[in-house]
Amino acid sequence: MTAAHSRFPRPSLMGVVNATPDSFSDGGAFHDPDAAAARVRELVADGASIVDLGGESTRPGSEPVTLAEELRRVVPVLERLGGVAPVSIDTCKAEVARVALALGAELVNDVTALRADPAMVEVVAEAGCLVCLMHMQGTPLTMQVAPRYGDVVSEVVAFLEERLAFCVAAGIPEERVILDPGIGFGKTHEHNLALVRGLGSVVAIGRPVLVGLSRKSLLGRLLGEGAPLRGTDAASVGAAAFALAQGATLFRVHDVRFHADALTVAALLAGG
Ligand code: HH2
């Protein structure tokens, strides 16, 4: 089984396809399974190493969806892809992960770091797949109400170390684990800034680090009044180049083509 660091050389891109009616960045556009499958193929052709398929929005304030509804959204897309395209499944439900892995997904991206569904850890351990553990304070429904930390960077690092140890104790080899500080998940603007600037502390844990900065409102806030709150693709690329310099490996992005050349050049200039 491939280790995460050899599967994803630095920098690698994870494209995003949300098969949901209400996602933060592309909600509704890929609700149709033919359109979603075509988009996955397009993102791979654009240079994505993997494409993250999600059937449940995690935008602030979003309500959870039922298992049946989430399966109804993602299974037809995976069936159309026929196990050929490199796919990651963005889910916190063990049954969705199990079905997606059987249909060819190679990575489970769980924004709860395997906390939401007690059966998830076993599904991942048994499948021998890659897994991304993300930090989130609270749940998508409530996470932006009043996020609180003493020191956000050290608390996120401690959380990710604990979740990594949990996985290893459950039989998931460390080599298969990717860590993510969870930009925008239960964090104020200042918390997000501190985490992006402090990414080196997350990288120092020793696992490949994934960051999701693409089109997040943090970027609109940085550009100030008059800028669209949803971060532009140009702003996303700037943030990704900065995160690369901090040591991030895998970038979860919506516009893959835009990021591909920019991050390749940034890595080459840095001597990577
Ligand atoms: N961000 C989003 C969703 N999943 N997974 C990881 N590992 N890291 C992230 O930063 C991350 C994620 C939110 O972005 P988007 O997919 O555009 O929206 P939605 O959750 O509404 O589908």
Report pLDDT digits (tens) over 89-116. Answer: 999 999 999 999 999 999 999 999 999 9
pLDDT value at residue 85:
95
What is the share, in percent, of the chain residues with pLDDT greater than 90? 84
Dist. CA 153–CA 81, nearest whole Å: 38
Output the pLDDT for position 138. 85
Whole-structure pTM value: 0.95
Band (21; pLDDT cuts 50, 70, 90):
confident
Q: What's the pLDDT tens digit per position in 123-182?
A: 999 999 999 999 999 888 888 888 899 999 999 999 999 999 999 999 999 999 999 999
Judge if the beta carbon of residue 132 lies within 6 A of ligand 1: yes
C-alpha 72 – ligand 1 centre gap (Å)? 20
Instruction: Identify the pLDDT of residue 160.
Output: 98
Q: Are 174 and 163 in contact (CB under 8 A)?
A: no
Among residues 223, 216, 221, 267, the alpha carbon closest in space to that of 241 is found at 267
User: What confidence tier does 1 reach under pLDDT thresholds 50, 70, 90?
Assistant: low
Nearest CA to ligand 1 atom 8: 212
From atom 5 of ligand 1, which residue's Cα is the shortest distance away? 111
Domains, the chain, in order of start with CATH, read: 9-269 (3.20.20.20)
Q: Is the pLDDT of residue 222 over 90?
A: yes
**Nearest alpha carbon, ligand 1 atom 20:** 58
Q: Is 134 in the pocket of ligand 1 (CB under 6 A)?
A: yes
Between 229 and 189, name the one with better pLDDT.
189
Among 65, 90, 180, name the best residue to mutate to test ligand 1's pocket (greatest count of ligand atoms within 8 A of Cβ): 90
Handedness of CA 254, 49, 239, 209 (dihedral sign): positive
Q: How far apart are CA 267 and CA 132, in angstroms?
A: 23
Residue numbers annotated as active site: 216, 252
